[in-house]
Amino acid sequence: MEPYSAGFLSLLPPVLAVIIALKTKEVYSSLIFGILSGALLYCSQSGGNPLIRPAEVTLEILAAKFDLKIVVFCALLGALISVINASGGIREYGKWARKKLQTRRKALFSTMFLGILIFIDDYFNCLTVGTVMKPVTDAQKISREKLAFIIDSTAAPICIIAPISSWAVAVSSNLTTKAAEETPFMIFLSCIPWNFYAIFCLCFVLLIIALDFDFGPMLRAELTHQEKLAKGEEEVHAPVPAECEVKSKPSGTIGDILIPIGFLITATVLAMLSTGGFWKEGEAFHEAALAMGNSDPSFSLLLGALAGLLAAFFKYIPRRISTMADFMMNAVRGAQNMLPAIIILMLAWTLSGITRELLEAPKFIASLVSADLAVSLLPALAFMLAGFLSFSIGTAWGTFGILIPIIISIFEAVFPGNPADLYIMLAATLAGSVFGDHCSPISDTTILSSAGAGCDHVSHVITQLPYCMFIAGASLLGYVTAGFTRSLSLSLTVSLAALIGGLLFIRRRARGNHPAETAETA
């Protein structure tokens, strides 16, 4: 298909998708209407049947952009998550934790560690951590709101900076660009150090646990929880939906979690080295990072997920943890659970192809944006725009599926020789997407975090919102600094100092009302 320079109308598909998303709070219809508007616009100039040709154009673009390896990986990952959940290993970890974790800090650190350990998918994280850690945190008189916050803060934020995760593949699939010589996966790796919100989320959780204090609505929730326990009142928790409960066998072991995940990681790394040409004759060991950067990540992750699934099969079946029929049924059910994510990816690929390749949006952007533009504020603006859109539609995947093509188009048109700026802008977009998803009341991960923790959903949103805004403020300061200096070390230093300094200042003011100290005084 010959491209058509649509001028300012080239931005109609993504802009329409954003407007509809903000209006309907729903991502699928938003992407579909954006795609159809672009296809109709293209067909109105290129000719053809106005009823049939747009559908043909849409399917041709989807076929050109469709990556079967990514789709198969998502299905295999869903299958692996499902069979691990059913193995009983998670239940066994919970039993071990209840015996070993006898202090408040240990219980909270263990919750954080388990959230970080399950980095391959945010849904897997939310569905397991709450179920495992509820008895442990309840024994240490920790409120369900605090548990829900830690679950939510170690779900999407860890997945977006983990090279081996469903998020890594989803983001990389949108990063095809001429503005940098690196492969899409290498671009994703280069963005990780600039993803301030995800990094600071983990730092914030670590500091809150280490300093052992809370503030704002979370402090009030903790105090209320302590008061009810002191009075002997039984606190009523929100019921956990059936789909959020981990239905597992009683005969599992911790190895039933660690071994399949270990095979997934090991096989993925080896596959990346292989597809990147590491074992060619004369290859030096210090070039392993270069080989991984030149690898085929989607195929490597597919092989890793397959290896993890096979490891689970050969571990569970001989020990009769699962029958053949149950194993396959759980695997199929897990693959089905990934269908929404796969649909979002397919729609995002199509919208990107129509906007950038058929309607040539980069040419129009080049005519508008000049080198004299105050680009120093673009990372901060991208962070805020992505955060607002993600909060409104409740999905990070849909947000970066809409915004990444626009960000890449700007740099392809104006700054093709400066990939460092591209990394900052893309990282700011990804960070903003995670920020909005983290605090949105309609986000899947927010809903699953409150459900998995047995916490009232509205209470979870209210108590964690000030924390999210505090982290976002430090991240925004980092992106303002990065826009003016292009220095990673300076940006991290300034924003991290703001995060720690602000937290210590709040702690000094709120220290007298700390739940733990109040309990000790009583």
| Domains in the chain, number | 2
Q: Which tens digit of pLDDT belongs to each residue from 254-301? A: 778 788 888 888 888 888 778 777 666 445 555 655 666 666 777 887
The CA distance from 9 to 512, in Å, is 58
Is residue 225 a part of any domain in this protein? yes
20: domain range?
1-65+341-367
Model pTM above 0.85: no
Dihedral sign, Cα of residue 43, residue 45, residue 46, residue 50: positive
Q: Are 60 and 358 in contact (CB under 8 A)?
A: no
DSSP letter at 245? S
Residue 70 burial by Cβ neighbours in a 10 Å radius (0-12, 13-18, 19+):
buried
The CA distance from 89 to 457, in Å, is 28
Q: Are residues 56 and 100 in the same domain?
A: no
Please state, for a pLDDT cut of 70, what percent of the chain lies above it. Answer: 83
DSSP count for the chain of H helices, then E strands:
26, 0
Lowest mean pLDDT among 42-46, 176-180, 339-343, 474-478: 176-180
Q: Which tens digit of pLDDT belongs to each residue from 394-413? A: 778 777 877 887 788 777 76
Q: Are residues 460 and 388 in the same domain?
A: yes
Is residue 176 a part of any domain in this protein? yes
Q: Are residues 413 and 513 in the same domain?
A: yes
Is residue 221 a part of any domain in this protein? yes
Q: Are residues 439 and 495 in the same domain?
A: yes
Q: Are 503 and 207 in contact (CB under 8 A)?
A: yes
Is residue 243 a part of any domain in this protein? no
Q: Are residues 486 and 375 in the same domain?
A: yes
- 146-155, 277-286, 370-379, 512-521: which is most confident: 146-155
Residue 371 pLDDT > 50:
no
Is residue 456 a part of any domain in this protein? yes
Q: Are residues 95 and 50 in the same domain?
A: no
Radius of gyration of the chain from its Cα atoms, rounded to whole angstroms: 24
The CA distance from 306 to 260, in Å, is 10
The CA distance from 477 to 322, in Å, is 51
Q: Are residues 359 and 227 in the same domain?
A: no
Question: Looking at residue 518, what is its pLDDT?
Answer: 41
Q: Which tens digit of pLDDT belongs to each residue from 462-488? A: 899 999 999 999 999 999 999 888 889
Task: Return the biggest CA–CA distance within the chain.
Answer: 79
Is residue 282 a part of any domain in this protein? no
Q: Are residues 414 and 468 in the same domain?
A: yes
Which of 300, 333, 367 terminates a domain? The answer is 367
Q: Which residues contact 504 (CB under 8 A, 6 or more apart)?
A: none
DSSP 416-447: TT-HHHHHHHHHHHHHHHHHHHHH-TT-HHHH
Q: Are 518 and 227 in contact (CB under 8 A)?
A: no
Is residue 422 a part of any domain in this protein? yes
Q: Are 217 and 462 in contact (CB under 8 A)?
A: yes
Q: Are residues 99 and 214 in the same domain?
A: yes
Enumerate the H helices of 140-182 as residue ranges.
Answer: 144-153, 156-159, 166-172
What is the overall mean pLDDT for the chain?
80
Give the pLDDT band of residue 126 (cuts 50, 70, 90): confident
Question: Looking at residue 520, what is its pLDDT?
Answer: 38
Helix (H/G/I), strand (E/B), else coil: 264: helix
Is residue 78 a part of any domain in this protein? no
The CA distance from 138 to 131, in Å, is 12
Residue 21 pLDDT > 70:
yes
The CA distance from 296 to 306, in Å, is 16
Which of 367, 385, 412 terminates a domain? The answer is 367
Q: Are residues 346 and 435 in the same domain?
A: no
- How open is the CA angle 39-434-20, to the nearest 5 degrees? 35
Q: Which tens digit of pLDDT belongs to each residue from 206-221? A: 999 988 888 888 988 8
Q: Are residues 56 and 196 in the same domain?
A: no
Q: Are residues 360 and 375 in the same domain?
A: no
